[in-house]
Structure 1
Amino acid sequence: MKLRYVMGAATLALGLMACSHKEEAASESKPAAASAPIQAQPDAGKLESVDSAATGIGASPAEAVEEALKLAIKQVNGASFDLASEQVKATLSVAAGKDAGQLSAHAFAEYVAQESGGVVTGFKLVKMEEPGLLSKSYKASIEAKIAKFVQPASAGKLKIVVGPVYIDRESFKLAGIAVPAEQVAREIHQQTLDALANTGRFSVLDRELGDDVQQELDMISSGQTPSAERSKISQALSADLIWTGHLTAFDYDKKQARWNLSQRVIHVANRQVQLSNMLSGDAGKQGDGSADAIRRGMEGQIVDRIVGAILVRTFPVTVASRTGNNVILSQGGQSVREGARYKLVSLGQEVKDPQTGQSLGRAEFDCCEVVVDKVMPTMSQGHLENVKMPLEQIPPGGLQLRELAPPAAAAKAESSAPAASGKKAAGKKHKPAAGMFDADKDKW
């Protein structure tokens, strides 16, 4: 009987061991959770701790430490940081009534971090100098870690504010229906803001939700949020450029759409007008001919032209890379249109006004045309046609996009017109002389 029990126990033990081995093997065969793709978080800025060393002078050790803390916070967050808030005042007064020995203790460093609510995340009293023959004040040298708000990467881009679209009338007539002009202006404004943001070239600043933004900042300043959040105050960005437009025509009659818009781009710092021109279009029939379809089509065409004009002036589209006649353009999105044909120029030497010394830009040489085959969010693909100069001598970035070129059929008709004057003129083709661009090679 005992032998039977021993055999049963041994069998059970072997079974349990086998199960444990299977479980271990199964756990080893499971893919690691870390292998799952990690989604990038939107960059909205972040709070981080910055090392700061400072020296303060006071009538007592506590006052010297308080002054050093003030200086450490200002060094990291600037003079605009709110030191008058109750929470920050409490942080700065943590040293009150303590002697040099207490201020040097590790417990005091922990107390500072606790009482500051995140403003000061680390503290160390490096040195305390007592009053001497010449100086009647205490001198405290400290090292601290101070909370700082770091702007998102997009803050380094060119900052632009989309101003209002002005109108002179109450309504526009589309297919016999009166459409409120204010609605059209508002939609063009919003679409322009969206399109500029989607180019990835600008930080587009909002000026319409000021009350809502101020409400959030008031929550921080009133102490309803952690004290470290105070470093977000006084971080508002000012614009580099302001765009504004004036819509003077927006009509559709007899299956033909017509619009006119004047626009300006103003440099905020010096009030100079960087761009001022009149845009106009003849949109033809739009959609199903209804007032809504016409309005949407015309608004889309206007926004495309606005964004294109701004980009050409501020961030000209360039040929980023080339393989034979296939090219990659440096911008996509709203910058170019798929299937469109554009002129390309090669850049030469910079030209300056001999009287004022102001740069007039760089010399331009007609190079070729590019037909856009595919538009992506950040770049575009295309191919070159009608090449007029050796491409091998032009470095990457040396070709810039200009205005729309005439369609291939129209260009061919124009070029064939002089041929009617005689076969001799038509048969003679212009070939660039060998090395004719060598003199300007170092300028491109």
Structure 2
Amino acid sequence: MTSPSIKVTCGVIVAAILLAACQKKTTDNEAVSAPAASTVQQAAAAPASAPLRAKPDFGGVTTQHVEVTATGPTQEAAVNNAIRLAIEQTNGKRIDSASVQVNTGSSGKGTEVSSPAYAELVASATSGAVSHFQILSQRQISAPTSTDEENLKASQGESWNKGNVDASASSNASMSRRVGLSGNDDSTSVDASASGHASASESEKLKGSWDQHQGAQQVDYNKKHVDYVTKWEVRIGADVATYRQSDGAKLTIVVVAQPQVQEPSYQVGDSSISSDAIAAEVQSKISEALTQTHRFTVLDRNADAAISEEIRRIQAGNTTPADTARLGQQLTADLIVIPTINRFEYARHQHKLEMADRTLVSYSGGGEVAFRVVNAITGQMVMSQSFKYEFPSTAPTTLGVSVEGRKLASGMMDSMDHSIVASILQSTYPLSVVQAQGKNVVINQGGDALQEGATYQAVTLGKPITDPQSGQSLGPTETPCCRVRIDRVSVNLSYGHIVEDGVQIPAPFTPGSMELRGQVAATTPKEANLAASTRVALHVGKKHASESGNTPSSNDSNW
């Protein structure tokens, strides 16, 4: 029999054991959970990784920090002139600085120009066109307003005055006189006479010489008078709203001109399509295909009216002053693609049978589109090429064959536009393999540049060659390598594989060392089926014998 004291003792021992076990479990849980908490804290502290896909870049208004110096009759006028100069230096004089209200003087009276309050006033007065304004230095200077200047310069060389004189002069004079008187007065007569003679002579002589020597003389007179006025000179630093072009604007800029046509309309199957409609679609498809290559910036001249309306809104002051930085940012083309539609038809041919009241109908035709690429500035012809497309002709039949002309025209335009874009790319940005692993390759272009399921000839590039006559680069040498089949096409990249076995790809692979050339014919059954599926399908009417499983020739008694 167990005593009560023993029971109590056992209960105390069991409770102690259970308590120790619980404490140990808690400690173990804390030890296990501690690293997890630390890991969470480390993950939270680690910076977020950059996104794999960057945000689309369409450009926009940003700010640029500039520092300029300007003068004015007053401190506030100098600041206003500096702000206008900062706007012109950042955005060019194409932006009318008067459209940005920077006259802070009228509303800034009582505010110290160098104070933070004045900086806020500038930002408010310009509605954000100028921000983070700061006066870096300021001083009063004496600036000349007018200058009068007199100059007189004269010089005389040495002179010699030398000579002799020898001269004489003489004169003679003589005079004689006789006087007689007679009278009869009281028998008295008087007779008297008197005579006289005088003479004089005068002579003069002059003889002498002189010798006078005078040295050189020079006069240099200068007088200058300058009027000065006191001005303020300030140097400011500010962030000015400016327009940042997108990365796409740095690519080669292309304009696809309206295609030139030869006819007012074209007959394609049973439809007559106006040449304007075909030209507009050709222009649209070429522009779209060039855009999807991501190698060109394609300008849409058809949107000029809408663009002009947006510009008028900015010029009218209906937007913020910061949006004035968008003015004068329209791009000009580097290249102009000028298509010409020389031929575009799928004609219906009819022949009346003499022996039966039936008409044989067949279709044949195709198209030819030429294009020129011209330098938009110099007019230089960059490249010129033409492409022909032939529709499969139908055999003559009396079974009422009909053709959907618009669908055929669209298919022909797709094919020729693809050829035009491929030719332009080959001359400018060839299809290049940027990654190769085993037989799998990644090509640097997608969209319409490549066709899924198509096979292309690949070449490896060697050393560049220079023409010894012209000195121009002829490009690197090319060695046929293999064929590449395109498995998948994305927006920017294409994925394919090398068809042949045993092709050795250098490791490590140098991106761009392999390029794709023209499309080659399919050789495998799978490729042949894929090529056949891309052919133009003719739509046959209800009376076509193919509905009964027979060919037209076997069912036509007049064949």
Contact 1:95–1:103 (CA under 8 A) maintained in structure 2: no
Of 81, 90, 98 in structure 1, the residue corresponding to residue 95 of structure 2 is: 81
Aligned to 1:402: 517
Aligned to 2:120: 110
Q: In 2, distance between residues paired with 1:273 and 1:231?
A: 35
Pairing of 1:171-210 with structure 2 (within 5 A): 171-210=265-304
Q: In 2, distance between residues paired with 1:305 and 1:352?
A: 29
SS in 2 for 1:225: coil
Of 49, 57, 60 in structure 2, the residue corresponding to residue 43 of structure 1 is: 57
Are residue 267 (structure 1) and residue 277 (structure 2) matched?
A: no
Q: In 1, distance between residues paired with 2:382 and 2:110?
A: 60
Q: In 2, distance between residues paired with 1:321 and 1:282?
A: 37
Cα deviation digits, residues 198-257 of structure 1 (max 9, x gap): 222221111112122111111111111111110000011111211110011111144545
Cα deviation digits, residues 294-331 of structure 1 (max 9, x gap): 12211211221122112222210011111222211111
SS in 2 for 1:137: strand
Q: In 2, distance between residues paired with 1:97 and 1:409?
A: 82
Contact 2:431–2:516 (CA under 8 A) maintained in structure 1: yes
SS in 1 for 2:384: strand
Q: In 1, distance between residues paired with 2:274 and 2:108?
A: 71
Of 332, 338, 344 in structure 1, the residue corresponding to residue 452 of structure 2 is: 338
Contact 2:255–2:298 (CA under 8 A) maintained in structure 1: yes
Q: In 2, distance between residues paired with 1:282 and 1:201?
A: 30
Contact 1:62–1:96 (CA under 8 A) maintained in structure 2: no
Q: In 2, distance between residues paired with 1:72 and 1:207?
A: 33
Are residue 130 (structure 1) and residue 224 (structure 2) matched?
A: no
Aligned partner letter, 1:229? D
Q: In 1, distance between residues paired with 2:465 and 2:502?
A: 23
Aligned to 1:310: 424
The structure with the greater share of residues assigned to helix is: 1
SS in 2 for 1:75: helix
Aligned to 1:59: 73
Contact 1:243–1:263 (CA under 8 A) maintained in structure 2: yes
Q: In 2, distance between residues paired with 1:331 and 1:211?
A: 32
Contact 2:452–2:489 (CA under 8 A) maintained in structure 1: yes
Aligned partner letter, 1:106? P
Aligned to 2:341: 247
Q: In 1, distance between residues paired with 2:109 and 2:406?
A: 77
Contact 1:61–1:99 (CA under 8 A) maintained in structure 2: no
Aligned partner letter, 1:281? Y
The number of residues matched between the two structures is 370
SS in 1 for 2:449: coil
Higher relative contact order (CA 8 A, sep 6+): 2
Deviates more, 1:318-327 or 1:252-261: 252-261
Q: In 2, distance between residues paired with 1:44 and 1:407?
A: 41
Q: In 2, distance between residues paired with 1:209 and 1:133?
A: 52
Cα deviation digits, residues 65-121 of structure 1 (max 9, x gap): 122112221232223222233xx2x31x22369789721222222221111122112
Q: In 2, distance between residues paired with 1:356 and 1:186?
A: 40
Are residue 325 (structure 1) and residue 439 (structure 2) matched?
A: yes
Pairing of 1:17-28 with structure 2 (within 5 A): none
Q: In 1, distance between residues paired with 2:503 and 2:437?
A: 16
Q: In 2, distance between residues paired with 1:388 and 1:143?
A: 65
Of 464, 468, 477 in structure 2, the residue corresponding to residue 350 of structure 1 is: 464
SS in 1 for 2:460: strand
Aligned to 2:179: none
Contact 2:271–2:406 (CA under 8 A) maintained in structure 1: no
Contact 1:345–1:368 (CA under 8 A) maintained in structure 2: yes
Cα deviation digits, residues 39-69 of structure 1 (max 9, x gap): 9865332222322211112232223212211
Q: 1:404 to 1:40 in 2, by over 3 A?
A: closer
Q: In 1, distance between residues paired with 2:524 and 2:464?
A: 35
SS in 2 for 1:209: helix
Across the aligned residues of Structure 1 and Structure 2, the Cα RMSD in angstroms comes to: 2.9
Q: In 1, distance between residues paired with 2:488 and 2:447?
A: 10
Instruction: Compute the displacement of 1:187 (Å).
Output: 0.9
Of 258, 263, 276 in structure 1, the residue corresponding to residue 384 of structure 2 is: 276
Deviates more, 1:185-194 or 1:39-48: 39-48
Q: 1:321 to 1:46 in 2, by over 3 A?
A: same
SS in 2 for 1:294: helix
Aligned partner letter, 1:205? L
Q: In 2, distance between residues paired with 1:81 and 1:171?
A: 46
Cα deviation digits, residues 262-295 of structure 1 (max 9, x gap): 1111222433222211111224379x83112212
Contact 1:366–1:388 (CA under 8 A) maintained in structure 2: no
Structure 2 gap ranges (5+): 1-50, 145-227, 348-361, 395-401, 526-559
SS in 2 for 1:239: coil
Of 230, 244, 248 in structure 2, the residue corresponding to residue 154 of structure 1 is: 248
Deviates more, 1:99-108 or 1:337-346: 99-108
Aligned to 1:218: 312
Q: In 2, distance between residues paired with 1:324 and 1:256?
A: 46
Q: 1:382 to 1:257 in 2, by over 3 A?
A: farther
Structure 1 gap ranges (5+): 1-36, 411-444
Instruction: Compute the displacement of 1:391 (Å).
Output: 2.9
Q: In 1, distance between residues paired with 2:441 and 2:115?
A: 66
Q: In 2, distance between residues paired with 1:313 and 1:387?
A: 30
Q: 1:304 to 1:130 in 2, by over 3 A?
A: same
SS in 2 for 1:408: coil
Aligned to 1:235: 329
Q: In 2, distance between residues paired with 1:157 and 1:391?
A: 31
TM-score of the superposed pair, with normalisation by structure 2: 0.61
Deviates more, 1:201-210 or 1:100-109: 100-109
Aligned partner letter, 1:284? P
Aligned to 1:9: none
SS in 2 for 1:184: helix
Contact 1:62–1:97 (CA under 8 A) maintained in structure 2: no
Of 476, 479, 491 in structure 2, the residue corresponding to residue 365 of structure 1 is: 479
TM-score of the superposed pair, with normalisation by structure 1: 0.76
